[in-house]
Structure 1
Amino acid sequence: MDRIHYRVVEHDGGWAYKLGDVFSESFPTHDAALARARQVARQQHVPGNAGAVIEYQDAKGEWHTEFSAADDRPEADVTG
């Protein structure tokens, strides 16, 4: 099983959580960003019913569509 790590960092005049090189929206306080990051991390553990079609944009700006079986959720944690 994969493991992902969200980090809370200063960003854009406030605070954000970050996964890899991708930032969330900005929050006015560290505590607000931390609370949202923890919520997002918890949601990683909630499996879907029968899966879903998902769309995402890669680092080159190209969009992809694929089926997610919803049985391969990563372990997630939050630091910062």
Structure 2
Amino acid sequence: MVKIIYEIVQHDGGWAYRLGGVYSEAFATHDQALEAVRIVMAEQQVGDESVTISYQDESGRWHEEYSDGGDRPEVEVVDSFEGEAPPSP
């Protein structure tokens, strides 16, 4: 089974979730970024029809794979936030 790990991080003057070096849009607060990643995680758990998917890797190359609609990944969030963000320099 595939395991996907999202990280909640400071990004672009706000907060974002990150997967494999790719950032989501920036959110004004940590809680908004956390809620957004929880929505994404829930959507990834919904089964669907089997399809062929296309995606781009870190080096910009495109790939195609067959995806079994019932084969859902294990998803986790890493969030080390423990309070207010440090002040910007």
TM-score, length basis structure 2: 0.78
Alpha-carbon distance in 1 for matches of 2:54, 2:3: 21
Structure 1 residues 2 and 64: alpha-carbon distance in aligned structure 2, compared to 1, 3 A threshold: closer
Residue 2 of structure 1: how far off its partner (Å): 2.3
Identity of aligned residues (%): 51
Unaligned segments of structure 2, at least 5 residues: 80-89
Question: When you count strand as a share of all residues, which structure comes out higher?
Answer: 1
In structure 2, the partner of 1:51 is: 50
User: Shift in Å at residue 67 of structure 1?
Assistant: 2.2
Structure possessing the higher radius of gyration over alpha carbons = 2
Give the ranges of 4+ consecutive aligned residues of structure 1 lying more than 4 Å apart after TM superposition.
none
CA distance in 2, matches of 1:77, 1:66: 23
Cα-to-partner distance string for 1:4-58 (whole Å, 9 max, x where unaligned): 221110001111001121111111111110000011111121111x212211111
Q: CA RMSD in A?
A: 1.4
Tell me the TM-score normalised to structure 1 length: 0.85
- Aligned counterparts of 2:56 and 2:37: Cα–Cα separation in 1: 21
Structure 1 stretch displaced more, 27-36 or 55-64:
55-64
Match of 2:65, SS state, is strand
Q: Which residue pairs with 2:82 in the alignment?
A: none
Indicate the residue corresponding to 1:19 in structure 2.
Answer: 19
Tell me the equivalent position of 1:34. 34
Moved more, 58-67 or 34-43: 58-67
